[in-house]
Amino acid sequence: MIQSILIANRGEIAVRVVRACKEMGIRSVMVYSEADKDSLAVRMADDAVCIGPAPASESYLKPKNLISAAVLKRCDAIHPGVGFLSESPGFAKAVADAGLIWIGPPAATIGMLGDKVEAKRSAIEAGVPVIPGSDGPITDVADARKQAKKMGYPVIVKAASGGGGKGMRIVRSEDDLEGAIKIASNEAEKAFSDGTVYMEKYLENPRHVEVQILADSYGNVVHLGERDCSVQFKHQKLVEESPSTAVDEKTRAKMGKDTVSLFKSLDYVGAGTIEFLLYEGQHYFMEVNARVQVEHPVTELVTGIDIIREQIKVCGGEKLSFSQDDINVSGYAVECRINARTPGRITEYLPPGGYGVRIDSFLYPGYMVSPFYDSLVAKVLTYGRDRNEGLDRMNRVLDELVLEGITTNCEEQKRIINHPVFRSGAFGTGFLEQIEEEA
């Protein structure tokens, strides 16, 4: 059993993991950059160690610093959180080579899934529906033109590595294809040090729906239902909910079956997510996130499963304590991501409360929100017996939230939650562009 965990991350996910450790009786050790020395996670953890200057490239993205800190503090395991090195096969391997437990899937699995071309091949082998696309990386523009013509425009050129919308270009005519390939490849090279790109049929305004899983090292894989992540701006998720209004029981059962089939074929261990695009009644494989997701609390609220706790247990060698038949998705949950538009010092912070409310954050009055890192400062979640109750509660909660000293997207989130199209449940990934045009 794991006795001590080094948390190789920061912000709200670090606080989340510290809390799980405390409940499990596991000693928690936080790493921090010079900019994060006063962070809430550092204050909460049992121990902490500085790993470098403020820039992530000199601290949170330094594998040697993180592993040295774990060895120095006599930790058994490293939890990578989300972002940073959480999906780095090199880091996962280095952790294992140092004799530490990696709280995530094996390095080889991460590496394969990080290559979207290889991940798509694995999905096809597991019988999971995939979006029509190129057979592999684009290496010849003339061949790409032939394949695009066969698929039919529009198509999308995508980076084989990374994510977050980088290295992606939508192409609506043959005249624009060559230029889009060059731009996407250059952008991917700068962002991920890998200029490899591939091509898929572009689905106009689909739904973006993902399925959460937990898997142990004994071959057991359980899915925990779906989350709808269709409300996005420039491919960055803003609102997540479960269950999805776009998924009927037949589709839900098929998605669950496909998800379990794929993850079993991967010999996967830990928490993970498969992302699908839903289009005209069909679900298509998009990618796998080989880590816990930012939006995992949505699933926790509707299933009652502590995903972080279970992730730590299975990566520590324990069997899943439940089977698929034990999973019951009940009620409705929604998460709004509160992002800082500007850095600054928090002058006042009063999180909302009441029945069916959960706040995951790292803020406190006097805390300095740094310009060096991701803009996410809080995840506001509500639970209801049904979607209307959950959304009405979220509307109240966003009104109740007091957060001063920085500017945030809170007002935008209110507008989304109360928009008639969102309330109707009939929307796609182009929904926010629609709102922008109305404003």
Distance CA 243, CA 210 (A): 11
Is 19 a catalytic site residue?
A: no
Q: What are phi and psi of 5, to 5 degrees?
A: -120, 130
Give the amino acid at 33.
S
Which of these, 250, 249, 243, lies nearest to 226 by C-alpha position?
243
Q: DSSP states of 118-186 as a string?
A: HHHHHHHHTT--B--B-SS----HHHHHHHHHHH-S-EEEEESS--TTTTEEEE-SGGGHHHHHHHHHH
Please identify which of the residues 16, 291, 309, 358 carries the catalytic annotation. Answer: 291
Distance CA 401, CA 302 (A): 23
Give the amino acid at 270.
G
| Own/partner long-range contacts of 191-194 (Cβ < 8 Å, ≥24 apart) | 191/159, 191/162, 191/166, 191/167, 192/159, 192/161, 192/162, 192/166, 192/167, 194/159, 194/160, 194/161, 194/162
Q: Report strand pairing: 155-159 vs 197-201.
A: antiparallel
Catalytic residues: 291
